[in-house]
Structure 1
Amino acid sequence: MRKTALTLAFFTALLTSQAQQDFHYSQFFASPITYNPANTGAFEDDIRGTLNYRSQYGSVAEPYKTFGLSVDAPIKISNDAYDQNFLGVGLTVVNDNAGTIDFNQLHIAGSAAYAIDLGGTEQNPHYISLGLQVAFIQRSMNFTNSTWETQWTGTNFNQSTSSGEAYVGDLTESNVSLGGGISWFNAFSDNARILAGAAVLNANTPSMELLGQQNDLLRKYTGHVSLAVAPETQSVIYYPNVFVMFQGPNRIIDVGSEIEFSLWERTEFTDHRNNLSMNLGAYYRVQDAIYFIGRVNYYDLSLGVSYDFTASQLSENNNGQGGVELVIGYRTTFNGPGTNRQKLIRSKGL
């Protein structure tokens, strides 16, 4: 069956749409520094690494694919035992790719955060953190494999025939994006804690131009609240999560929760996380999708899988098939001097 040739108008519409909304993850809580630089270093270990893969709308011929990597660490900046302030540093790399024209978006960001101790204790730390992000953003297209109406022979496309189009080969545009955020962490007790924050990304609205179309990246406003509740009478931990993102006319609101079941407790006389546990969760992305999450945590590693079921009008076109997402996480402790946040009980915490 004859394929409909791509047109310049389609490219322009695609660029305009993509300029209005950046990448997003269903397992947003697994990569906290991608949406708020103030979360950099905000965890109880010495280093954290995350790998993400997402395939969106797998029922279409060329699904939208996202690959991500993030690494961050807290650094104690004072030898004073009473000074629990610390610095967080991190790096994020995200690459999106879609379509036969290889529409590609590369996002490389460095982030730093300064966390201020609000008078917490070793077992119940309390911090507020301020963070900054500087990101290099590149967008590109490759028309090498594109086919056009003028190349249609009646039975197939002949790419050796001139398309008559002005755009051939690779097109690339890049710029720098700035952002900042704030987050608050409080361990009310050994059994309850909260991480909440907000950020503004693309604060400088960097300009991106491809195909002669001027597009400024719209400011992205994010907010998040994550709780960890471990009832003393139960052997499970509850993780309610809320994430919101507003970018121009677009919005994302994710609401849901997970339950962590302990399958193998850590050994009593070691300070290293060596337990085996499993998380199960369900989330709703308002007017978009319902998705389910499963994750296994073993020693310093975790493997999470989620699947989106489309809950919008788009389900008529993709048969409800949204996207699959895989996340591999790694967190470990070097047993060196650390902050109160790093000294949290290993089996509980955000």
Structure 2
Amino acid sequence: MNQFFKFSTCLAILLIVMMGGYAQDLHFSQFFNSPLTTNPANTGFIPDGNYRIGLNYRDQWATIPVPYKTMSVYGDFQLFRDRLEYGWVGIGGVLLRDVAGAGNLTSTKGYASIAYHQLLGQSSLLSLGFNAGSAGKRVDITKLTFGDQWNGKFFDSQIPTGEPITQTSVNYFDLQAGMNYAYFPTENIYVNAGFSVQHINTPRETFYDGNNVIPRRYIGFLNASIKMSDKVILNPAAYYATQVGARELMLGANAAYNLSGDGVQQLFGGLYYRANDAAIFLVGYQLNAVKLMFNYDITTSGLSAANNRRGAYELGIVYTGLYTNRSFSNARRSTICPSF
């Protein structure tokens, strides 16, 4: 009975938190290290390089009965930097996978992205991008029990359920669009704001015989890089997402410290806060073109009673490169954000 009570309490708290305002579309606390899922206009928008490859892994709510494990890998690069005088094209792709709950609810998504980036004078840039792809979900119902299978003492999977599940997998086409604006008046200041819409086509997604659709999700972000000295670059950021009545607001900053003096080695530390949900502590290290960041989310919402404040940990790895031939016809510097 104690086990059942604990399970019921955890599940009830989780449902309250989810109903209270946080959509479970796949997302990362390190949204700045998951550019293609945050905004397709980020495709080929690489302030400190010309191409990049990244990997993200998030393990969330491992201490309660319905944990989430989210993974992604992405890559994007710039085209026509040597042919277009005032802009370039970015192309890329991202793969995502998420596994959650006792029924191994598995989401698998793959998107191809394209964006165009247009310089506006010498100190600003406007970007427009799209991505499209295939998404699918599946669930193992043999690992699930339902309310009508309660026998008075425990949930008995041998009791037939009347749950009207008509299929255990679903696939659909998904479409996103977004735009960015960047302002970089000097080599010491860089500001970027973006807005995107996910699930533009509101695809149908249900395991039942119904017409449930995924509502559009709207995302806005603002970030900056400010070179404080030859040793420190400050990177403040804000992120906001809304989907139907669910909302997510995240604020914070990280700072890069120049360990080696020439920028080859950098140390990162940061603090972020997701409103009514979690405090997020971040550390990182960069060696040459490879950056590794780790964050830990400490739960501050009502769910903390069930998970002892152990919310999630997340790992982000990004490799950023510059083309060997950087003699672009527009004669602009290859990077537009502050660097050591």
Return the alpha-carbon distance in structure 2 between the equivalents of residues 265 and 341 of structure 1.
Answer: 25
**Structure 1 Cα separation of the partners of residues 336 and 97 of structure 2:** 35
Shift of 1:150: 8.6
Asked whether the 8 Å contact 1:290–1:309 carries over to 2, the reply is: yes
Q: Out of 274, 277, 294, which is 1:285 matched to? A: 274
- d(CA) in 2 for partners of 1:262, 1:175: 46
Q: Which amino acid aligns with 1:313?
A: G
Matched, 1:207 2:204: yes
TM-score (normalised: structure 2):
0.85
Kindly indicate whether residue 315 of structure 2 is the aligned counterpart of residue 317 of structure 1.
Answer: no
User: Is the counterpart of residue 73 in structure 1 residue 77 in structure 2?
Assistant: yes
SS in 2 for 1:33: helix
Q: Which of these residues, 106, 124, 131, is aligned with residue 129 of structure 2?
A: 131
Structure 2 unmatched runs, 5+: none
Which stretch shows the higher mean deviation, 103-112 or 25-34?
103-112
Q: Secondary structure at the match of 2:112?
A: strand
Question: Aligned in 2, Cα 1:153/1:36: closer, same or farther, shift over 3 Å?
Answer: closer
Question: The residue matched to 1:26 in structure 2 has which SS?
Answer: coil
Q: Which residue is 2:139 aligned to?
A: 141
Task: Confirm whether residue 187 of structure 1 aligns to residue 184 of structure 2.
Answer: yes
Cα distance in 1, alignment partners of residues 193 and 318 from structure 2:
21
Conserved? CA contact 1:167–1:211, under 8 Å: yes
Q: CA deviation at 1:337?
A: 3.7
Letter in 2 for 1:307: Y
Supply the AA of the counterpart residue of 1:348.
S
Instruction: Pick the aligned partner of 1:51 from 52, 55, 79.
Output: 55
The question of whether the paired residues in 1 share the 8 Å contact of 2:117 and 2:127 is answered with yes
Alignment partner for residue 42 of structure 1, among 45, 55, 58? 45
Local SS of the residue matching 2:259: strand
Computed over aligned residues only, the root mean square deviation of the Cα atoms, in angstroms, reads 3.2
CA distance in 2: counterparts of 1:111 and 1:320, whole angstroms:
37
Aligned: 1:99 with 2:101: yes
CA distance in 1, matches of 2:165, 2:249: 39
Aligned to 1:252: 248
What's the secondary structure of 2:36's corresponding residue? helix
Contact 1:21 1:250 in 2 (8 A): no
- Conservation of the 8 A alpha-carbon contact between 2:58 and 2:70: yes
SS in structure 1 at match of 2:45: coil
Does residue 210 of structure 2 align to residue 197 of structure 1? no
Of residues 150-159 and 336-345 in structure 1, the stretch that sits farther from structure 2 once superposed is 150-159
TM-score by length of 1: 0.83
- Percent of aligned pairs sharing the same letter: 27
Deviation string 1:188-211 (CA, Å, 9 cap, x unpaired) is: 111111111111111121111213
* Conserved? CA contact 1:143–1:170, under 8 Å: no
Deviation at 1:345, TM superposition (A): 7.4
Map of 2:64 onto structure 1: 60
My pick for the range that moved more, 101-110 or 253-262, is 101-110
Instruction: Summarize the Cα distance change of 1:346–1:168 in structure 2 as closer, same or farther, 3 Å threshold.
Output: closer
Distance in 2 of aligned mates of 1:198 and 1:65:
26
Letter of the 2:270 counterpart: G
Question: How many correspondences in the alignment?
Answer: 328
Q: Which amino acid aligns with 1:185?
A: A
**C-alpha displacement at 1:152, in angstroms?**
8.4
Q: 1:297 aligns with which of 268, 281, 286?
A: 286
Distance 1:208 1:84 in 2: 41
Q: Give the C-alpha shift of residue 19 in structure 1.
A: 11
1:347 positional shift: 6.6
Segments of structure 1 that go 5 or more residues without pairing to the other structure are 267-273
Deviation at 1:264, TM superposition (A): 1.2
1:132-160 CA-partner distances (Å, limit 9, x unpaired) = 1113221111123335689889999886x
Indicate the SS of the match to 2:65.
coil
| Residues 143, 169 of structure 1: 8 Å contact kept | no
The alignment status of 1:219 with 2:216, answered yes or no, reads: yes
Distance 1:169 1:342, change over 3 A: farther
In 2, Cα distance between the equivalents of 1:27 and 1:108?
20
In the aligned structure 2, how far is the partner of 1:342 from the partner of 1:167?
60
Distance 1:164 1:119, change over 3 A: closer
Instruction: Sort the Cα spacing of 1:258 and 1:251 in 2 relative to 1 into closer, same or farther, 3 A.
Output: same
**What's the counterpart of residue 261 of structure 1?**
257
1:150–1:204 distance in 2 versus 1, CA, 3 Å: closer
**2:28 paired residue among 22, 25, 44:** 25
Partner residue, 1:308: 297
Secondary structure at the aligned position of 2:221 is classed as strand
CA gap 1:338/1:216 in 2 versus in 1, 3 angstroms: farther
The counterpart of 2:334, out of the listed 312, 325, 343, is 343
